[in-house]
Chains A and B, each alone.
Chain A
Amino acid sequence: MKVFSGFLKELKLASRGFYFYIEIFMAVLILILFLFIVPDEFSAKGEEYVFLDMPKEAKDVYLKGLTGEDLLNQRKNVKIKIDGKDKNVDLYETEDSSLYFLESKEDIIYMADNKRKISLIIKMDEDHNLAYQYYLQGYESQKLKNLIRVLNLESAHLLQENMDSLEVRSISIDSKRLSDKENMLPSVLVFNGSLMGLFLIAAYIFLDRQEGVIKAYALTPSPVWQYLMSKIGVIVFISILSSMLVLLPVMGLKPDYLLLLVLLISTAFFSSALGLLIASFYDSLIQAFGTIYVFMIIMILPNMAYFLPSWSPTWIKIFPTYSMLQGFKSVILANGDAAYVLSVSAGFLLMGLIMFFLANLRYKKILFR
């Protein structure tokens, strides 16, 4: 009962304070970005500028071959600015590049020199053999240069044919995939939902210390842990609120919300208990800020492994945020891997309890007795 009364009081205090609205504002801002700005899939289309140095008939044959090669190819006539003049050029969009066909060698050199674009001149000699002249920028890797060398060889076409003829079977027939946009959500949930508690709870503790209300609390029969727990309750509440604000409009009813709640509560509990422990070693938020900042930076590291799955060293998996990210991803995917999510949640709950126990000892010592 006392914990609940403390929780309501803390909630009231939080709703009348600055930090609560920063958290909500951040969630709304992220939501707007996700709804209106972040595309479902990120394209990394390169731009290439090509001049076909060949007779018109040969040019037509070449372009026809190009459009017939890939159904996705589309021809558009667009205007681009070359050396201060508007010029009409043909644009061919493929799955992974935009090809602009320019009218002269000078234009190609201009784009390479002044616009820093990869440019190419395709020449046809008297024997109707094609020669490729690339204008690179100098910073391209040897791998890319080698790739360009083999790209237009006959053997490369053979390699492609061989690859196409390979049979690929999926082991899991119901495997789901998140879109690029959805794939970013676990990161948002970890940092705006769970980890923000680390900073927020420290801010709330220091506000109380500044007002001296902790001393007044100390002269009541209520134990320290109830005071700390009511603060954690508010952080968990804010964490759930800000996460739902983003997740519901973006993902609808797709995620497993029950599992999400379990994971959110346990991770927010862990991070706020950690925040309490850190704050217990300092007298003000300014003093504690450096340490909290370092902790948050360390916690951000597993993001790299998350977005670059091919780089996932064992040591990065030790960081708690690595499991948080994978747990949230699993919940958003709703792939039925409840056992994994629950085991991750149990882990955070256990670690949170240990942190909370230590924090309780610290606060008993420094604030009350």
Chain B
Amino acid sequence: MIKVKNLYHSYKKDDIYQVKDVNFEVEEGEIFGFLGPSGAGKTTVQNILTGLLEIHKGQAEVAGYDMKNISKDMFNKIGMSFEQSNVYSKLTALENLKFYAKLFDVETRDPKDLLKLVGLEDKANMRAGEFSKGMKHRLTFVRSMINNPIMWFLDEPTTGLDPSIAADIKNIIREKNKQGVTIFLTSHNMFIADELCHRVAFIVDGEIKLIDSPRNLKLQYGDKMIEVDYIKDGENINDSFSTILNEDKKKLKEIIDNYEIQTMHSKEASLEEIFIKVTGRGLV
């Protein structure tokens, strides 16, 4: 569904590239996570793939369309949910969706159904300017579904949402994926990527450092850990130990033999820990 080869981009059109030699492919029906800290080049790549930015060097193909020669028909097939909500604040939620629906040349979804999907059916006639940040985000999210896209770009889809709404959004994403929609998810939130993505790419300083499935990454880079809470000299102490390193194993045995154990859990390395391990960079 997406093919990217030797992609470069420079905002100043000089030799200092913000995106350097990026290569990857996204299969049809896949949820592909594009992960990295702020300023890593995630949004630049996404903007190139949606046609908002032009390609300076390299090749990109989305849903069979060459991004160097974009056909307007491509926009009937893609959807994009922006990180920053961008709806008309002076129009109601329903008016926003109705207007947007008319811009497409394909059959579109019923705006009321979409509002219901994200719990905004009671706010249909309220102006978007009066919405909270989370409500605006939900409106922006469902707007991206209005043309039934087969290729769906999601930029930080759960940012700023409370946990229950974020869970609903994740369910919608899973559901659409089950229906065959390919999803390109951009985020710095490793938890959502871990939960949803079939494969993830780590991007830092405009370069892709690694692409694999979260499971493979954990197998490859994540040590099994034991997290222990114990009491030493009347003080509660929390510590983690590798089940692979001998030194850690010895320390753990010593604690079990000598101190009162409060809790003990086995723990997998998180995607975030793996990211830091692979790239040497945090996600902020």
Contacts and interface: CB of A to CB of B under 8 A. Distances in A.
A and B form one complex:
yes
Given A9-B91, A219-B78, A221-B105, A212 B99 contact: no
B82 interface: yes
Contact of B52 (A12, A211, A368): A368
B75 A219 contact: yes
A75 interface: no
A221 B89 contact: no
Contacts of A2: 102-103
Contacts of B88: 9, 13, 211, 213
Contacts of A222: 103
A215 B86 contact: yes
B135 interface: no
Interface in B146-163: 147
Interface in A203-218: 211-213, 215-218
Contacts of A9: 88, 91, 95, 99
B82 A216 contact: yes
B168 interface: no
Contact of A216 (B78, B90, B100): B100
A215 B72 contact: no
B211 interface: no
A223 B73 CA distance: 11
A249 interface: no
Q: Which of B85, B91, B102, B127 has the most CB of A within 10 A?
A: B102
A211 B90 CA distance: 10
A5 B98 CA distance: 10
A16 interface: yes
Contacts, number: 71
A212 B76 contact: no
Given A2-B102, A9-B99, A212-B82, A219 B89 contact: no
Contacts of A223: 72
A218 B52 contact: yes
A17 B102 CA distance: 23
Given A211-B88, A369-B54, A12 B73 contact: no
Given A211-B86, A212-B82, A213-B86, A219 B91 contact: no
Contacts of B51: 218-219, 368-369
* Interface size of A as a range: 20 to 34
A191 to B, nearest CB: 27
A1 B104 CA distance: 12
A2 B101 CA distance: 10
B283 interface: no
Nearest to B54: A369
B38 to A, nearest CB: 18
Contacts of B187: none
A217 B100 CA distance: 8
A221 B90 contact: no
A220 interface: yes
A1 to B, nearest CB: 8
B261 interface: no
Contacts of A13: 88, 90-91
Contacts of B255: none
B99 A5 contact: yes
Interface string A1-25: 1100110010011001100000000
Interface in B86-114: 86-91, 95, 99-100, 102-105
Contacts of B105: 221
Contacts of A213: 86-88
Contacts of B90: 12-13, 16-17
B60 interface: no
A122 to B, nearest CB: 72
A16 B96 CA distance: 14
B50 interface: yes
A215 B50 CA distance: 10
A16 to B, nearest CB: 4
Nearest to B99: A9
Q: Which of A2, A16, A211, A217 has the most CB of B within 10 A?
A: A211
A212 B91 contact: no
5 contacts: A1-B102, A216-B80, A219-B75, A221-B104, A221-B105
By Cβ-Cβ distance, the 5 closest A-B pairs, closest first, are: A212-B86, A220-B103, A221-B72, A16-B90, A221-B75
Given A9-B88, A219-B78, 17 more contacts: A6-B99, A12-B90, A12-B95, A16-B127, A212-B82, A215-B82, A215-B86, A216-B140, A217-B103, A219-B51, A219-B52, A219-B75, A220-B103, A220-B104, A221-B76, A368-B52, A369-B70
Interface of A: 1-2, 5-6, 9, 12-13, 16-17, 211-213, 215-223, 368-369
Interface of B: 50-54, 70, 72-73, 75-76, 78-80, 82, 84-91, 95, 99-100, 102-105, 127, 140, 143, 147
